[in-house]
Structure 1
Amino acid sequence: MTGTYLVTLDTQTAIATLARRHKAAGGVGLQVLNMIGGRAENLLERLPDSVKQALEGATERALRVALQAARQSRSVVPDQKGWLNTAMTTAMGAVGGAGGLPTALAELPVTTTVLLRAIQGIAAEYGFDPNDPDVLSDCLTVFASAGPLADDDGANMAFLTTRVTLNGAAVHGILKSVAPKLATVLGQKLAAQTVPILGAAAGAATNYAYTSYYQEMAHVHFGLRRLAIDSGTSETLLVEQLRRAVKTV
């Protein structure tokens, strides 16, 4: 008997819904690549060497700023609807792209903060406390999924099996582990925003794609967590079910 028959019909239906979200996550990215006339793997080559070498450090700093800002803002700024988060980052992307690389780099930590807050808001939708260290860890690991401009080879499900308890000593470690992956993703975004003439449009389009992507992936992540709790099914089995379901969507 295979794992397919070890979950209930209701659980399989929920998995199918998450699989559709997973597939939808990267759909807009293809439109962005078509607009800028490039391929994701070639985008980073457009960046100056000095930027590429500093990208990982800049990404880790952006994550630290986002983490601090998200913690401070949750008590005074309520979680926003998904469409509003997308509209906000789309506008910021247009501004960042209009000025080329300097403004795109300046916009990076702001967009990262909005994305983290959006992910935290989705965690709350599924009944998780975003202020809980373990949940905050989950929010950060959503950034470890492949970006919307990457080919979906299933590798972006690896973050679903990652669990790190986020205490004081672990903050540095988890940021270090997420930053390299996110640096590649954000490097593609920066490169798209520096496309001549299309800068503002590309900035808006990439931020739209990235916000849509990470919000959908957050739904997959926390939807799977909630399904495991409610159904009493192991997360390992559910991830395998999801992996199969994505191939058939």
Structure 2
Amino acid sequence: MRSRGHTAAAPLVTGASAKAGTGATGRADDWRSFARLVAVIVGWSIPYVTVTSMVSLHAERDLEQSTAAGAAVLSTYTAAGAVGTLLGGWVGDRYGRMTSVRVGYLVALPALFGIAWAPAFPVLVLSAAVFGVAMFLPFAAQVTLAQDYLPNRPGTASGLSLGLAMAAGGLCSPAFGRLADTSGLPAVFSALLAVFVVPVVMAVRLPERTRSAPDAPSPPLVEAVQPHEAR
């Protein structure tokens, strides 16, 4: 009911209503770059999981080492991954996350070659350690990059980037296991090198996407109030 001597207040216009129809961040999702990143992550996952499952067998069968030596090289490889995760965060903070992505992939490729063609056990251990560090240098950067490619769907971006990093390699493991049974471990590592070239080339060409500055606050809301009517 309208109060006597007053008129209805004018409708208020807020900054939020002025932006109706835009995403929560005011930025568009870059699906093309995200699809490229997904392909890179799948290419990362395949060699990571396969090396994890076969590097100890490689030491025992191809380099004629003991079971303990095979376990040692696997432990070195997994521990190096933890170091690479921490180092990748530091590199990303200091030099930019694309530096950690590009350096990680470019170093991992020759390290995988060293694993495949190691002439002696110490070379295999060193190559496995370098490969473990290099593979996890870009790990955290890839997750944040996925979120920036899809700023309006951060949950989808995080779930796909983390889920595919573990699942894609596991899905391909039976095929590489079959290849190892029929053609031997050298054939497996040669196939991994061929597969890994693709994500390396794609990773060094991924575009950076920085977060934009927050929008300026909306101007204060002012109600238009009519003066009292004289009585």
Q: TM-score, normalised by structure 1?
A: 0.37
Higher helix share: 1
- Computing the radius of gyration from Cα coordinates, the structure with the larger value is 2
Q: TM-score, normalised by structure 2?
A: 0.39
